[in-house]
């Protein structure tokens, strides 16, 4: 059982926006595990905080109420220190929404959301930070939103503040590592007063806030070592998110070659997510840029042409094992033209060779012309051989009878792709 201590040594949590909805559910779940809780909410209805505190106490828990604004973080932390002399857990949940189209959005609408979400999180966290540093321990959860992660009409202000908290989280966690302070972000989905006006009744009823509580309790526990991470949760489900970047394209830095026209020509490769990286730091982010500026290509090599070369390299290794069997089905010289690149496969007398470029000794029996992406689709099984022929994505020159025997090659390419997954 996950323990947070007991009695006077029990951990202490501050939960903002805990008068109802998610904050209330999380405060109650932590208190049920023995955590002493500061229930914060500055809603005009003072009975909200009093009700949550009374409910926790009636079940044997320990809680105090606090009705200060999250922009007055020092006073909220003072409440925790005066009552419990420490702060182990901080959940920055408080927020408001001021929805409306961007054209009609006022500075007041923008500032209200800024103060409750971004400024409020900064204020309470900054006040709790020195306490956690002295303790050499802390767990901080910042609440973000799918509106920021994915965008949502009429919520430019809300989305901007919530994405600001993602940056706040991934930067602050680096400062807390040496003090055993973990800072993570959660994007919860639940039926609350914020979602009730826009959700169907059956969805609102099923996605109860309590179905996120066990996840939150774990993220607040000392055994959870995740730091600087982002999680989506709701309905009893949780998943982790991370940044993903395409392999990208390195251009020649010679101004005569590096033109907007060349960029436009290669843009399909720039936005191609078939090959991706997952940078986790600014150093990771800079690495391909520094590599390109240090040793720029003399001419353009796209990510797909590199990927084609990798496919043929794997095929060469495989053919050394299976070439003899294939040469019983196919006898001759195949010349694959993938855009401007050429690979030559020679299958003769039970032997197989694969060379980059044209064969020097024998003329090809069959030339096979394909665009790079079509070839990669064929290798991955997204494009069948017959489809490629019918749609003229695979163009042939030479001994067309040999084309009827290409299926073993297509099968071999697919086997290689599946083996990598």
Active site residues: 158
CB atoms within 10 A of CB 104: 8
Sheet containing strand 12-15, strands side by side: 63-66, 36-40, 12-15, 89-92, 138-143, 181-188, 230-234, 237-241
Pairing of strands 230-234, 237-241: antiparallel
The pair of structure tokens assigned to 119 is: 């400024």
Residue 111 CB partners (closer than 8 Å, separation 6+): none
Nearest to 143 by CA among 112, 119, 166, 125: 166
Strand partners, 354: 345
List alpha helices for 33-181, DSSP H: 47-58, 73-84, 107-113, 120-135, 146-150, 156-176
CA 74 – CA 34 distance, rounded (Å) = 25
The pair of structure tokens assigned to 254 is 């010679």
Phi–psi pair at 217, nearest 5 degrees: -60, -45
DSSP letter string over 71-91? T-HHHHHHHHHHHHS---EEE
The SS3 of residue 301 is: coil
The answer to whether the beta carbons of residues 85 and 76 sit under 8 Å apart is no
- CA neighbours closer than 13 Å in the CB half-sphere of residue 166: 19
Name 372's Cβ contacts closer than 8 Å, sequence gap at least 6: 302, 304, 305, 307, 308, 338, 339
Tokens at 403, concatenated: 């084309």
Alpha-carbon gap, residue 201 to 178, rounded angstroms: 46
Q: Which of these, 329, 328, 354, lies nearest to 343 by C-alpha position?
A: 354
What gap in Å lies between CA 26 and CA 34, rounded to an integer? Answer: 13
Q: Are 223 and 216 in contact (CB under 8 A)?
A: no
Answer whether 272's CB lies under 8 Å from 303's CB: yes
């Amino acid at each position: 059982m996950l323990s947070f201590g007991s009695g006077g040594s029990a951990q202490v949590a501050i939960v903002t926006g805990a008068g109802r909805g998610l904050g209330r559910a999380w405060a109650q779940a932590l208190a049920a595990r023995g955590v002493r809780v500061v229930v914060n909410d500055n809603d005009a209805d003072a009975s909200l905080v009093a009700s949550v505190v009374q409910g926790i106490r009636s079940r044997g828990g320990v809680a105090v109420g606090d009705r200060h604004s999250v922009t007055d973080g020092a006073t909220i932390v003072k409440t925790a220190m005066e009552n419990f002399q420490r702060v182990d857990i901080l959940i920055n949940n408080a927020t408001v929404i001021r929805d409306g189209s961007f054209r009609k959005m006022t500075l007041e609408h923008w500032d209200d959301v800024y103060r409750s979400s971004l400024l409020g999180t900064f204020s309470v966290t900054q006040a709790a930070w020195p306490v956690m540093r002295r303790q050499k321990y802390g767990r901080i959860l910042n609440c973000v939103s799918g509106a920021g992660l994915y965008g949502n009409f009429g919520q430019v202000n809300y989305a901007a503040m919530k994405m600001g908290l993602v940056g706040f989280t991934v930067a602050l966690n680096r400062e807390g590592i040496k003090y055993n302070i973990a800072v993570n972000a959660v994007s919860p989905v639940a039926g609350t007063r914020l979602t009730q006006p826009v959700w169907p009744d059956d969805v609102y009823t099923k996605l109860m806030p309590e179905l996120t509580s066990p996840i939150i309790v774990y993220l607040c526990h000392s055994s959870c070592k995740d730091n600087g991470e982002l999680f989506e949760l709701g309905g009893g489900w949780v998943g982790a998110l991370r940044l993903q970047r395409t392999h990208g394209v390195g251009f020649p830095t010679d101004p005569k070659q590096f033109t907007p026209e060349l960029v436009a020509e290669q843009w399909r490769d720039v936005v191609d997510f078939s090959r991706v990286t997952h940078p986790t730091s600014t150093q990771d982010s800079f690495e391909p840029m520094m590599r390109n500026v240090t040793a720029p290509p003399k001419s353009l090599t796209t990510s797909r042409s590199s990927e084609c070369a990798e496919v043929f390299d794997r095929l060469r290794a495989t053919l050394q094992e299976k070439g003899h069997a294939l040469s019983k089905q196919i006898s001759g010289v195949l010349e694959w033209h993938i855009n401007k690149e050429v690979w030559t496969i020679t299958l003769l007398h039970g032997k197989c060779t694969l060379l980059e470029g044209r064969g020097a000794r024998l003329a090809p029996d069959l030339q096979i012309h394909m665009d790079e992406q079509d070839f990669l689709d064929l290798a991955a099984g997204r494009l069948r051989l017959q489809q490629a022929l019918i749609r003229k994505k695979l163009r042939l020159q030479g001994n067309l009878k040999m084309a009827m025997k290409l299926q073993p090659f297509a099968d071999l390419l697919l086997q290689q792709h599946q083996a990598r997954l």
